[in-house]
Chains A and B, each alone.
Chain A
């Protein structure tokens, strides 16, 4: 438990991931499920960015008068790609939800179960 208190940031991001997972599993509205999926994705991004930070570290931009420790640039590049992929997923899912509503008249998952 001491390890968990020292890594309180990581534990908070695990909690956010579980809240997002609960929204995806338990709520019936498709748009609410998509918001839960986005919460899960941003929790994972926050976890990876936090793993790259350094105590009193500055942003990884090196000019002539910056010294001292720098935050690691590798997780930042990974997460930039990840954020754009999350946007692509959200855009495609939203267009599919609008099309489902146009054809079936409902976007609640339990009402969609018997629809052809």
Chain B
């Protein structure tokens, strides 16, 4: 790509965007059209209708639950694609061809004892913080994704200390397969419960059945959190080469 073409493409992208941006209302303007219609309804009626004091969780898990369903399917599909790309055919894995393949099995270098000690000491606190973020997600900033990613980072750290490759991973493979599918399965289960309660897929009951509504949202958050954590651990393990 010669420089003239690159400059032309950058100008063709930048000039219309800057011209469009100059005509937008000032960021922070309370009278801007973006705050007028649907968002104003969510701010006014959101707590009563969705049962979540954290309006972002209410929008994600109640008003726009189908988008969240699509999103958990996307990250699950990403893990499936990474597994498909980085899987080695069964005859070529080192150590599995009965001595015909004479390249030695790759061993990871030993972990420094300082790193192992710090990880073992801080792991319970990180797990507690992740559980706090997950379960207080509907009244406090946080929710399923945030807690799930913190839990996934904790699992990555632990697999550095405890996991020993494909023969002895941190989460055994059949359990790992079910946990990675936990988020889409939880959404499907709650969708069926929604059909039974209101007649709509993923339909949430109103304020009359308040505890049931809160229980459905907590189940969704737990499913998203556990699913995201084990999916992130799976991505980490594929990227490391086991």
Contact = CB atoms under 8 A, between A and B. Distances in A.
A95 B9 CA distance: 29
B75 A53 contact: no
Chain A facing B: main interface SS: helix
Nearest to B148: A84
A61 interface: yes
Interface string B23-49: 110111110101100110011001100
A91 B59 contact: no
13 contacts: A7-B22, A26-B6, A51-B32, A55-B29, A55-B30, A59-B141, A61-B141, A72-B42, A73-B56, A74-B39, A74-B59, A84-B74, A92-B82
Interface string B137-150: 00111000100000
Nearest to B47: A62
A50 interface: yes
Chain B facing A: main interface SS: helix
How many chain A residues sit at the interface, stated as a range, is 35 or more
Interface of A: 1, 3-4, 6-7, 9-11, 14-15, 17-18, 21-22, 25-26, 50-55, 57, 59-63, 69-70, 72-78, 80-81, 84-85, 87-89, 91-92, 94-96, 98-99
Contacts of B86: 95, 98-99
Nearest to A79: B56
Contact of A3 (B22, B34, B42, B74): B22
B55 interface: yes
